[in-house]
Amino acid sequence: MVTEAATRTHPLDPLSADEIVRASTIISGRFGSPDSLRFLLVAALEPPKGAANPPRCAEAVCIDIDAGLTTEVIVDLDAGMVTSVTERPGVQPPALFEEYERAEATIRTDVGWRSAMRGRGLSDDQIDLSFIHLWPTGNFGSTWETEHRILKGIVYLRDEPDDNAYGRPVEGLIAIVDLAEDRVLEVIDEPSPLPPTSSLRFDHDHGGPHREDLRPLDIVQPEGTSFSLEGHLLRWQKWQMRVSLHPREGLVLHQIGYEDNGQLRPICYRASLAEMVVPYGDASVGHYFKNAFDSGECGIGRLVNSLELGCDCLGEIVYLDGVVTDERGGARTIENAICIHEEDAGLLWKHTYRHPDQRGTQSWLRRSRRLVISTIATVDNYDYGFYWYFYQDGSWEHEVKATGIVQTMAIEDDDPQVTRHKIGSRLAGVHHQHFLSFRLDMEVDGPENTVYEIDTVPLPLGPENPYHNTFTALATPIADESSSGREVNSSAARHWRIANDGVSNPIGEPPAYVLMPGATVSMMADERSMIAQRAAFARKQLWVTSYDPMQRYPAGDYPAQSEPGLGLPEWIDAKRPLQQADVVLWYTVGMNHLVRPEDWPVMPVQRASFSLKPWGFFDRNPGLDVPPPDHCEPDAEHGQDRHAHHSHNSHS
């Protein structure tokens, strides 16, 4: 294991701890250093594309916790001064960590809430030991949601402090707490099934007896890794990119390019998770409002884990630390926030030749290796792994791995299980979905690209199809933003080709990359629902917009308690042209989760992915120059691979 100390070497580098503290100090001084000032985000402000020697700037989102006012500030760190202050009345930024703590304390001491708990037959000891899970509330038009900064607290019982509380939900009891006033606005107490009598723990002392037939599996690279990391600049094989952690988006890759014949060819300027939403499909009082925007309402980057060698990552690992604000003007370092390593990925290519004179066979093959760049973030009950994979054939891929603990509800034994599924005695898991929007600022061989929708279609019956078997690839350009909302069509093998029509490859066609969708799902919430209107990005799998540096988050800058129609619906109304333009793709990964008993008490990893593959970007298989495995090197005397074998035919 090696931990690299990242230093500022490039304008796209994230802020260091010292820079975060300096920016916060400058901002605090600008406002007179009030005790009520908090910092939700302090991050590097990315310079305009192509800017020469740009100043080092920071952007910050601040909140006055007494006044409840959100302010956006830009600081020129080189000049040591604030250059922009924008007040944002009426918006709700993510809740502070301290607001979560104060909200829990406020609920626990509220007379009405404690009375409701006692009314369910619970003792003061049980009440004090209970677990309060605080949720963003969404926006369903109530006064609480439109006029207050709030969280909702739902309750679970515990027998001891480290119990798996999700096994014993107190159904139908919700506390709505005002974060600015530190008071409970309302306690909702509806008749509901009693909590289950026992939970199921899964920690080291309760998951056994453990299997005893596993033998050690070691991954070693005696000569070290095949990649290099200089600050945040990562090089591997012919790939090059910059790697960083953003406090809201989490793992960010910049300036992804591939070296081809001595030339670094650009592919993607910036790739990141722009937003995610998890809508739940149950209408009961304790679940209808669960539509969490885990990026915009929580901040994926600030929830990233410190990864452990041999646990989260296996092999010869290089780590990058992440640095985020501590919300009071200091900096918090997340050690080992980003894991970088190599993996064997099976076959890259192979062909076996059978000699016509029955002399045997001869094989040529190369094994594939991939570069893995990953983070893991914990958002309350769920854990999400984000994995970027890069391959030696010029393709790259993103995989999301969801695990953790499912949201539960107490049910009667005869529950019809329409919107949930039973996972234990009087316990159900609620149907829900995960939608993750990835922002891909493409630049395939340059900044001007066109996105084509590719469908495989049969040719009409006739002279070109006399045997009823011919088909073709139909390419339709996405001409402007108003028509850019596209859906996956697996029956047509639909994908999207990002091409540079101003450049020709050796066979006279534009070089391109294709976005290949993985398994996905449509949003089940009706288009008239508040969540479908507030998270409109999740209603289609692909959107395309013309690049605008201010358009970063597809559900708006502040999705907490937001109004409908923010983000992508506003942007595409501009109907900007998209052909040979600086295009940004917004691809939504959808995961359907109908909870099963095997997901309890902690769920195995559920995966979803998409990939990007070269299409005419190279003039041949770019993996031809990968050397063969050591034990498969060609036999110089016989001119065939050492593992080639001869067949022995028997005849009766």
Residue of 13, 189, 282, 294 marked catalytic: 294
Helix, strand or coil, per DSSP, at residue 99: helix
**Residue 556 forms beta bridges with which residues?**
none
Tokens of 599: 């997901």
The span from the CA of 157 to the CA of 87, in Å, is 42
The span from the CA of 284 to the CA of 192, in Å, is 10
The span from the CA of 331 to the CA of 316, in Å, is 29
CA atoms within 13 A of residue 543's CA, in its CB half-sphere? 30
Length of the chain: 652
> Residues 312, 291: contact at Cβ < 8 Å?
no
> Residues 385, 605: contact at Cβ < 8 Å?
yes
Residue of 382, 391, 452, 587 marked catalytic: 382
78 contact partners, CB below 8 Å, separation of at least 6: 55, 56
Pairing outcome for strands 150-156 and 131-135: antiparallel
Cβ atoms < 10 Å from Cβ of 436: 27
Q: How far, CA to CA in Å, does 114 sit from each of 118, 123, 182?
A: 6, 10, 16
Tokens of 50: 């192509």
Pairing outcome for strands 81-87 and 361-379: unpaired
DSSP line for 208-228: -SPPS-PPP-----TT--SEE
DSSP line for 118-152: HTTT--HHHHHH-EEEEE----SS-HHHHHS-EEE
Active-site residue flag, 513: no
Using CA of residue 54, residue 56, residue 61, residue 65, what is the dihedral sign? negative
> Residues 480, 575: contact at Cβ < 8 Å?
yes
Active-site residue flag, 294: yes
Q: What angle do helix axes 97-108 and 111-118 make, rounded to 10 degrees?
A: 60
Q: Which residues form the catalytic set?
A: 294, 382
